[in-house]
Amino acid sequence: MIFSTAAEAVQNEKYKQPLIELLYQLADDDFILAYRGSEWLGLAPHIEEDVAFSSINQDTMGHASMFYQLLEDLNEGPVDCLAHARPANERLNAVLLEMVNGPGTYLIEPKYDWAFTVVRHYFYTVAKKVKIESLKNSSYEPLKHIALKINMELYYHLLHWKTWFKQLCLSNDDAKKRMIQAINTVIAEFDGVLSLGALANEMQEHQIIEGEDLLRQRWMNEMKNVFSEIEIPFPLKIEMKSGNGRLKEHTEDLTEALKTLSEVYRTDPAASW
Amino acid sequence: MKNKGLNIMVEKSKYDINVNRLYDQLQKVKDPEIDSVSILELGMVENVQYAKNHVLIELLPTFMGCPALDIIKNNIKQQLLTLDFINAVDVKFIYNPPWTSDRITEIGRQKLKEFGIAPPPIHFEETGEWRVNCPYCDSSYTTLDNIFGPTACRSILYCGSCKNPFEAMKPISTLM
């Protein structure tokens, strides 16, 4: 069954629950990763990357904002509040995406890990592309329209991260070693990104998005193609060692990030931006 | 003016004068970051509905994270409220159809060029390759320096002929 407006969706409780669940996952994923990306501003390897990465973060924050807008339309509360005021134990983002960029902080000795950043962003962007492609046929029409729009911007993000990923993997021994280490770190948490949480079956049943296994398989296929080009064996075991964000399990990294990013909002929640 | 997909619905009797005046005002709303090009020329205006002193404008955002959107929204309100037959303005962003770079009008493309920004390539190849000529000397001897530029919708290029760095609007297509 097709739902063309928020008003129609809110009347059907069985449809609304999995829809809202998915929107929180999509919004919270993009939101926290765009924040982690923005922490690289001024610290990226070179000036062109600083420009490109900032632009990608801006797009990604725009995508999060649209998903939060869809939630607001479904009576979940105002966008700013959804983005800034929800504590860590209400968030549905994957744990991988909240992890710090590396030792140090933005202000004090940021020894951020570029290999980790490239791998995390590349793997995530492939997974996001798989989901967005599926959402282009979603039964929830407002989501379907936004997916088509996001897809066009994602094209450039994917091109960017794939280029970095392949070039570093095919570079000198030091780069290759760091990339393999980063791949292992990311893969140890990546199942959290691929998971659609407790209502995955309902999402599929109502044709909001396709089945979790099918999406996972598509991601794997794309990964295996790329790994065959870089001549690194694809890791066998994909896990989520630090918790399942879809079940609201999180680390201290998220609490700290939310404290920092919502600082201005919390000083005056009623201010207009 | 050629403007793909633009629909105007108004009370018939007042059609000619008022529609022209609405148009004139919308033409004054420029892209805050490229002040020679209007939102009409960028193909951002999808619907204009007006009845009983109330006008609803439906706009297509170019990029979703574009910080200029709120400024554009306020500028539209400001411009339209100067009209004596309008006392309420609603501006809504919609996503269907999606904005694509082929919506920029011929005049819009010309004005971008005058501003020093190459218009987006008209044809988007399936391979993802695209070519733009230098907005200053029209040479095709150009190289892409950075797909991402100072704003979400622009890329940075370099002209090998006149040695000028320049920007181009990114091609955005549903083929992507």
Rounded to an integer, the average pLDDT of A220-239 is 93
Res A12: pLDDT: 97
Question: Sorting pLDDT into bands at 50, 70 and 90, what band is A237?
Answer: very high
Q: Which residues contact A259 (CB under 8 A, 6 or more apart)?
A: none
The token pair at A21 is 């669940």
* B59 inside 8 A of chain A by CB: no
* B8 inside 8 A of chain A by CB: no
* A41 inside 8 A of chain B by CB: no
Judge: A145–B150 Cβ closer than 8 Å, yes or no: no
Judge: A51–B174 Cβ closer than 8 Å, yes or no: no
In three-state secondary structure terms, A128 is: helix
Judge: B64–A63 Cβ closer than 8 Å, yes or no: yes
d(CA A85, CA A68): 13
Confidence check: pLDDT of A125 > 70 = yes
Find, among B97, B84, B126, B108, the residue nearest to B34 by Cα: B108
With vertex at residue A124, the alpha carbon angle to CA A118 and CA A126, rounded to the nearest 5 degrees, is 100
Of chain B residues 79-118, which have a CB less than 8 A from chain A? 95-96, 98-100
Q: A156-191 pLDDT, tens per residue? A: 999 999 999 999 999 999 999 999 999 999 999 999
* A146 inside 8 A of chain B by CB: yes
Res B66: pLDDT: 84
Neighboring chain B residues of A65 at a CB cutoff of 8 Å: 64-65
Of chain B residues 126-145, which have a CB less than 8 A from chain A? 128, 145
Whether the CA torsion A127, A132, A135, A141 is positive or negative: it is positive
Judge: A58–B145 Cβ closer than 8 Å, yes or no: no
Question: Sorting pLDDT into bands at 50, 70 and 90, what band is A244?
Answer: very high
With vertex at residue A190, the alpha carbon angle to CA A186 and CA A196, rounded to the nearest 5 degrees, is 160
Find, among A247, A265, A248, the residue nearest to A87 by Cα: A248
Res B33: pLDDT: 87
* A155 inside 8 A of chain B by CB: yes
Judge: B64–A62 Cβ closer than 8 Å, yes or no: yes
- The backbone torsions φ and ψ at residue A81, rounded to the nearest 5 degrees and listed phi first, read -70, -45
Judge: B95–A61 Cβ closer than 8 Å, yes or no: no
d(CA A113, CA A124): 16
* A138 inside 8 A of chain B by CB: no
Question: In chain B, which residues have pLDDT < 50?
Answer: 1-5
The CA distance from B105 to the nearest CA of chain A, in Å, is 20
Q: What is the DSSP string of A230-256?
A: HT-PPPS----TT--GGGT---HHHHH
Ranges A8-12, A259-263, B118-122: which has the least confidence: B118-122
Please, what is the end-to-end C-alpha distance for chain A in angstroms? Answer: 38
Determine how β-strand B88-93 pairs with β-strand B34-38. Answer: unpaired
d(CA A3, CA A110): 47
d(CA A161, CA A166): 9
d(CA A249, CA B127): 42
Mean per-residue pLDDT of chain A: 96
Q: A49-74 pLDDT, tens per residue? A: 999 999 999 999 999 999 999 999 99
Judge: A160–B173 Cβ closer than 8 Å, yes or no: no
Res A18: pLDDT: 98
The CA distance from A191 to the nearest CA of chain B, in Å, is 27
> E strands, chain A, where?
none
In three-state secondary structure terms, B65 is: coil
The Cβ of residue A42 has, within 10 Å, a number of other Cβ atoms equal to 10
Place of tokens 């791949």: A183
Sheet holding B165-169, edge to edge: B117-118, B165-169, B154-159, B142-146
